[in-house]
Amino acid sequence: MTAIEKQIELILKLNPNYSEMDKIYLTNRLLNLVGDNALNLSAAKDFLANLDLLVKEAVANKKIADTLAAKQILEAQIMDLATPSPSQVNHIFWDKYQAGAKEATNWFFNLSKANNYIQTRAIAKNIVFPAKTEYGDLEITINMSKPEKDPKDIAAAAKLKKAGYPACALCMEAEGYAGRNNFAARANHRIIRFLLGGKTWGFQYSPYAYFNEHAIFLDENHEPMVINQTTFSNLLAIVDMFPEYFVGSNADLPIVGGSMLSHEHYQGGRHIFPMAKAPIETRLQLTDYPEVKAGIVKWPMSVIRLISHNKDELINAAEHIRKIWDNYTDETVDVRAVTNGIRHHTITPIAQKNAGKYQLDLVLRDNQTSKKYPDGIFHPHADVQHIKKENIGLIEVMGRAILPARLKAELNEVKKYLLNQPNQINPIHKEWAEQLRLKYSWSESNADKQLQLAVGEVFAQVLADAGVFKRDEVGIAAFKRFCHQL
């Protein structure tokens, strides 16, 4: 079998637009993309390796430049042929949905992997391990999946005029967009449309997923993120639609929000995070909401959990808490709703369904800065930034660390340092390494496991830094004072 024939086999398998009669047409479409010299190129064993062969052939035939961006654009164009049109994807999805949400999401997820929109090979490079803490097993990931930028692409992007189309990576206009040096290739990208609160929204998967079936739900319009009563209503509507998924929203303020605040969106998927497993340790009584069970969750961040069969009452209770938090100040623990006319309080909400009941976890957030903490009072402090200094967003709030790729090499040097081997330890880890040397005895047999445990302890402290009410005597009393307001 030739590489062209192998690719046509995938096209016919995935895309009902084409049949056996289209083989000559598809051959010519592919040759146009990779060059006529590819006609007799032998196939690789699997479809993704075969895609690599075709892209390599296109470079050899000078059909594309030998840059990462050009290769990714061509990969998406080739796989676009194997992907049904947006209207067909939506038709198939909602037809399968009639048999159950899981059947529909399974089909869409498998399509998104098979057509290489979800970068399965890149995701497989991520380093993932559990870390036992007093809050249960936190999930640590070192994110190796996103490729380093090609210097030639960076240089080319610098010469491009700033483009306003698509406005951002989450815009629906990205569906089918070819890509450029400073915008990802999306020719093989598809979005499921659905109505949410009377507006059109989209559902897609993340190409560089951080957990199983990492889904993104996005507003049709390019509008800034906001947390309000509509947010709670939307999240519960989505878990009604996809009951096997959790769904949550990043906060809507800088420092405590996610990396993209300019486009309203939520994230969800088929994964149970550590925070969802954490128990309620203090029961709360919400007098005006008798059908809602409430409590403080045993978690390093400040979380109130609401559970109810009554969706409307749950939404109203969540909005009640949000409004009070929005204006709540307690100077004794550096909690301030507003300074110099700038709002600081918001919530990171997470919804799911358990045994027919709705659950909303409301994580209280405060984005103040100070002279002592210029990066954020409730943000990873300087002593943990050698491991994590970026914003603590939705995924990390729930107990899954997304750590930078640099740590793979850096932690290996820390291990060598602790084993008294020749090393090039980064100075930012030196003080931490000295603390670890005193805390544990180190050997070749235990070094990896102990170092993973130590990273988990740092991440637990990262979350504690981001918690507005600390888990000490003063913080617990302050949290109870706030809850008394509810």
What tens digit of pLDDT does each residue of 105-145 get? 999 999 999 999 999 999 999 999 999 999 999 999 999 98
> What is the per-residue pLDDT for 316?
98
Three-state SS letters, 329-377: CEHHHCECCEECCEECEEEEEEEEEECCEEEEEEEEEECCCCCCCCCCC
Reported as a pLDDT band with limits 50, 70 and 90, residue 459 is very high
Reported as a pLDDT band with limits 50, 70 and 90, residue 307 is very high
Cα 432 from Cα 414, distance rounded (Å): 9
| Residue 32: alpha-carbon gap to chain centroid | 36
Cα 375 from Cα 66, distance rounded (Å): 40
| Residue written as token pair 């479409």 | 29
What tens digit of pLDDT does each residue of 271-285 get? 999 999 999 999 999
Percent pLDDT > 70 in the chain is: 96
Neighbours of 307 (CB within 10 A): 17
Q: CA-CA-CA-CA torsion for 5, 7, 9, 12, nearest 10 degrees?
A: -130
Residue-wise burial string across 364-395, b where 16 or more C-beta atoms lie within 10 A, e elsewhere: bbbbbbeeebebbbbbbbeebbbbbeebbbbb
| Residue written as token pair 């929203």 | 249
* Amino acid in the structure at residue 44: A
* Amino acid in the structure at residue 278: A
Q: CA-CA-CA-CA torsion for 195, 200, 201, 204, nearest 10 degrees?
A: 90
CA dihedral for 218, 222, 225, 226, sign (positive or negative): negative
Cα 256 from Cα 250, distance rounded (Å): 8
Q: What is the mean pLDDT of residues 18-45?
A: 97
- What is the residue-wise DSSP string for 394-441? HHHHTTEEEE-THHHHHHHHHHHHHTT------GGGHHHHHHHHHHS-
Mean pLDDT (the chain, rounded):
95
Residues 116 and 75: beta-carbon distance below 8 Å = yes
Distances (CA, A) of 60 to 34, 66, 79, 80, 262: 9, 9, 20, 22, 40
Class of domain 129-161+191-400+473-484: alpha beta
Cα 433 from Cα 180, distance rounded (Å): 43
What's the token pair of residue 126? 């991520």
Which residues lie below 8 Å from residue 408, measured CB to CB, with a gap of 6+?
127, 142, 144
Would you mind telling me the total number of residues written for the chain in this entry? Answer: 486
Least confident piece of the model among 80-84, 114-118, 163-167, 459-463? 163-167
Domain locations in the chain as residue ranges: 3-122, 129-161+191-400+473-484
Phi/psi at 174 (5° precision): -75, -15
What tens digit of pLDDT does each residue of 171-223 get? 999 999 999 988 999 999 999 999 999 999 999 999 999 999 999 999 999 99
Cα 364 from Cα 336, distance rounded (Å): 12
Nearest CA-CA partner of 133 in 399, 456, 462: 456
What's the token pair of residue 297? 């969750």
Q: CA-CA-CA-CA torsion for 17, 19, 23, 27, nearest 10 degrees?
A: 20
Q: What is the mean pLDDT of residues 299-315?
A: 98
